[in-house]
Amino acid sequence: MIQGTPSSPIPDSLAVPLPPLLERYRELYAHDLGQKILLFLGFALFLYSLARLARRLVSDQIEEVNRRHAIRKGIGYALIAILLLFAVALFADSLAGFGTVVGLMLAGIAVALQDVLKSVVGWLYLSTRSGVEVGSRIEVAGVAGDIIDVGMLKTTMLEVGNLVFGMQSTGRLVTVPNYQMLSANVIISGHANPFVWQEVRIVVPFDSDWQRAEAILRGVGEELHAGIEPELHAGFRRLEKRYAFKYGTLTPIVYVTLGGSGAELTLRFLTYARGRRGSEDQVGRRLLTAFAAEPNVHFAYETMRVIRHGERDTGIRQ
**Dihedral sign from CA coordinates of 33, 38, 42, 45:** positive
pLDDT at position 110 is 64
* 65 belongs to a structural domain: yes
Is the model more confident about 27 or about 49? Answer: 49
Give the span between the Cα atoms of 178 and 153, in whole angstroms.
6
Domain assignment of residue 156, given as a range: 123-189
- State the CATH number of the domain containing residue 228: 3.30.70.100
Of 290, 300, 291, 266, the C-alpha closest to 280 is 266
* 9 belongs to a structural domain: no
Please check whether residues 262 and 285 belong to one and the same domain: yes
Please check whether residues 30 and 70 belong to one and the same domain: yes
Residue 254 has pLDDT above 70, yes or no: yes
Please check whether residues 96 and 136 belong to one and the same domain: no
Is the model more confident about 257 or about 192? Answer: 257
Calculate helix-pair angle for 33-61, 65-91, nearest 10 degrees.
Answer: 170
* 168 belongs to a structural domain: yes
Count the Cβ atoms, other than its own, within 10 Å of residue 213: 26
Helix then strand then coil, in percent of the chain rounded to 5, is 50, 20, 35
Give the span between the Cα atoms of 113 and 111, in whole angstroms.
6
* 300 belongs to a structural domain: no
Domain-ending residue, one of 83, 112, 141: 112
pLDDT at position 317 is 47
Domain count, the chain: 3
* 201 belongs to a structural domain: yes
Please check whether residues 184 and 210 belong to one and the same domain: no
* 301 belongs to a structural domain: no
* 70 belongs to a structural domain: yes
Is the model more confident about 47 or about 201? Answer: 201
Please check whether residues 73 and 106 belong to one and the same domain: yes
Helices (H) and strands (E) in the chain, counts: 8, 8
The mean-pLDDT minimum among 11-20, 44-53, 115-124, 191-200 falls in 11-20
- The predicted-structure confidence for 169-191, as pLDDT tens digits, reads as follows 888 999 999 888 888 888 888 77
> In what helix (H) or strand (E) does residue 237 lie, and over which residues does it extend?
helix 210-242
Give the span between the Cα atoms of 139 and 243, in whole angstroms.
20
Amino acid identity of residue 211, one-letter, is: Q
* 261 belongs to a structural domain: yes
Contact criterion met (CB below 8 Å) for 220 and 290: yes
Give the span between the Cα atoms of 191 and 239, in whole angstroms.
10
Does the model's pTM come out above 0.85?
no
Please check whether residues 154 and 217 belong to one and the same domain: no
Domain-ending residue, one of 134, 166, 189: 189
